[in-house]
A = this chain, B = another copy of it.
Amino acid sequence: MRDEEKPGIRRLPLFREMSQETFDSLMQVSYAQNFPPQLDLFGQGDRADFLHIIVEGMVELHADWNGHETVMAVVQPVSAFILAACVRDSRYLMSARTLERSRIVLLPAPILRDAMRHDPDFAMAAMSELAVSYRIMVRHAKNLKLRNARERLAAWILRQSALAGGVPGFVLPVEKRLLASFLGITAESLSRTIRLLQADGVMIDGARVTITDMERLCRVARLDPMLDGSDVKEALALMDPPRPAPSRPTPNPAPSAAGQAGVRAR
């Protein structure tokens, strides 16, 4: 693997706190590989042989059952994924597929586990990382169970906007069918839901999304720090006062998080 991609990896919370020694030894035994788009990296049920670190491109994590598949996450550089399966020396619960040409660093799982046993700081970092992953998945499940499709889409748009730095406009980072699957609906439903949302302060033309009425959209999404992450609310709060909302919104790709399912009245 190239030396110039190591600093990016080193900067990840997972690798930031460990000793330089351990880090170097891990990089020594890792190797990077380039993959073409639409390639299956691994399938759910495979033994977790490698921790994956994406340094370029984009990867989809999806789950399959009974001939159906659903997108669970989209991962973008630089980040590690499928850590839990490696830690548990178990099988992947999700399958991975490249969405673009991607460059991925592969770190053998046994060596990873060994490093954790020998470097307490690394173990702590992995623990923290897994806690974050767990909480992301809890939020995903909450989103699915508590919000309907329209609310999930609204929340997702607001989150994207926040991740893009609080701009009211951005371009979809992924295909709509993929977004639909992530949100837990069909592509057709997403199409219709988008139309519905036009009445609620957002304009979508092709892959271009523009929030025209933030307040209205927020009223639909009902953002909640315990569901959407506190960062979203904060970024959005920052965005109203200082940004007079440029008439021509700037493009801004980014990945990430919403879903739908059953509720229970109080």
Contact = CB atoms under 8 A, between A and B. Distances in A.
A180 B117 CA distance: 42
Interface residues of A, number: 68
A131 B83 contact: yes
Contacts of A139: 93
A64 B184 CA distance: 20
Contact of A261 (B85, B90, B259): B259
A145 interface: yes
B146 A259 contact: no
A16 interface: no
Interface in A111-160: 116-117, 120, 123-124, 126-128, 130-135, 137-142, 144-147
Nearest to A146: B65
Given A116-B127, A137-B138, A144-B184, A266 B93 contact: no
Contacts of A69: 263-264, 266
Nearest to A230: B91
A140 to B, nearest CB: 5
Interface in A244-266: 259-266
Contacts of A186: 262-264
A146 B222 contact: no
Nearest to A70: B145
Contact of A66 (B45, B92, B130, B146): B146
A144 B68 contact: no
A85 B131 CA distance: 7
Interface of A: 44-45, 63-72, 83-85, 87-88, 90-94, 116-117, 120, 123-124, 126-128, 130-135, 137-142, 144-147, 177, 180-181, 183-187, 189, 222, 224-227, 259-266
Given A117-B124, A123-B127, 4 more contacts: A64-B266, A65-B147, A88-B132, A127-B127
